[in-house]
Amino acid sequence: MSTFAAVDVIIAKRDRRELTGEQIEWVIDAYTHGEVAEEQMSALLMAILLNGMSGTEIAHWTTAMLNSGIRMDLSQVGRPTVDKHSTGGVGDKISLPLAPLVAACGAAVPQLSGRGLGHTGGTLDKMESIPGWRATLSPAEMTAQLASVGAVICAASADLAPADRKLYALRDVTGTVESIPMIAASIMSKKIAEGTGALVLDVKVGSGAFMKRSDHAAELARTMVELGAREGVRTSALLTDMSTPLGVAVGNAIEVAESVEVLAGGGPADVVELTIALAREMVALAGLDADPADVLASGRAMDSWRAMVQAQGGDPDAALPTPKFREIVVADTAGVVSRLDALSVGVAAWRLGAGRARREHDVQQAAGILCRAKPGDVVAVGQPLFELHTDTPDRFPAALADLADAVDIAAPGTVVGKTPLVMEVIRG
């Protein structure tokens, strides 16, 4: 590999010149191995944030991160492989019912997931509220479970795109997280490395999402769909609304409970709707002839859930953690709920202990919020709006402050318009 000077690469991007594939390959490899200093990579990331990247540059960057580690081979699984990735939201427990549902349709779903940071919950944090369940599997264990059960939710191996792990930590502390090229390359390098044949992206839009504007979300979605196509991974994206929390439950154990309700044929309508919409897109990309709605109603998805949990040491019949303390917030006016702000609810749940401020912090499995009224619901004075859960009651005041302006209640009889849950579908 050619050797470049890091400062020349920085200057090129500072001056809005397009980086070559060789420059990108070198800088990613050199940074991963400690030959490019943190301050130099920080400068390059800021130049990328400010000046952007071309599609060719993003593709080279993604490939370089992908090539920094292993690429899993799932060809022996015996089923078509398809995965889903969400950009993160409030109450977004969709992976939990979705993976077993798509498995019950005949696919293999290698759901490599992460932990939450900030107001968006992590899938692994939710699953770890199930007694005995373990997040860490070897590649051999993961492949065997995909072959036998059809679904796995587990932590990504450290060997998958290690350059991304190092870069992500640096972006987090240098104010460069918002770069669309970096977000796209980060997500896609990890998803392509896991070896899936197809991928559906759930790109959230709204107050509780990373992307607040639909045009930015669409740009990110299109970029990722193109990256998938370049690497031979059939990819599509759904832009979905995240102005209001998904479902009723926002937390860890309570989101698991709500997911099980969906698998049992119940659960909140929006969670069911999005689970089926994503499942249909995944099944189509996998080339399978199955209707996820019918499969969900048959109970086969619940069987897959139980098998998936048991395969990773969990007890699907065990009681989930419950909070030591609860607090109820009630309506002080009668009318119709016209707004429920996802970000406010997410931050309040985080303050109660459902999330973490730093990666090394623990979460409270029982902490969270139940949203007892959603937009369009009619409420009376004194009717519950929120039920707060925590093991540490001194957390209540800050959470209550976050919720103070989270709900708007309109006059009785007001008709509340709703944004479609699935706003747009982007296919390659």
**Short-list 177, 198, 195, 176, CA closest to 88:** 177
- Concerning whether 216 is annotated as a catalytic residue, the answer is no
**Short-list 76, 74, 60, CA closest to 28:** 60
Distance CA(241)–CA(98), nearest Å, equals: 18
- Concerning whether 324 is annotated as a catalytic residue, the answer is no
Distance CA(200)–CA(198), nearest Å, equals: 7
List residues bridging with 409 in a β-sheet.
337
**Given 171, 234, 306, 374, which residue is catalytic?**
171
**Given 60, 84, 166, 190, which residue is catalytic?**
190
Pair type for strands 151-155 and 407-410: unpaired
Buried b (16+ CB within 10 A) or exposed e, 132-166: ebebebebeebbbbbeebbbbbbbbbeebbbbbbb
- Concerning whether 85 is annotated as a catalytic residue, the answer is yes
- Concerning whether 13 is annotated as a catalytic residue, the answer is no
- Concerning whether 190 is annotated as a catalytic residue, the answer is yes
Amino acid letter at 100? Answer: P
**Given 13, 79, 84, 85, which residue is catalytic?**
85
Distance CA(355)–CA(232), nearest Å, equals: 35
**Given 68, 86, 179, 186, which residue is catalytic?**
186
**Given 125, 164, 202, 241, which residue is catalytic?**
164
**Radius of gyration from C-alpha coordinates of the chain:** 22
Tell how far CA 397 is from the center of its chain.
28
Q: What would the two tokens of residue 264 be? A: 């049992």
The residues annotated as belonging to the active site are 85, 164, 171, 186, 190
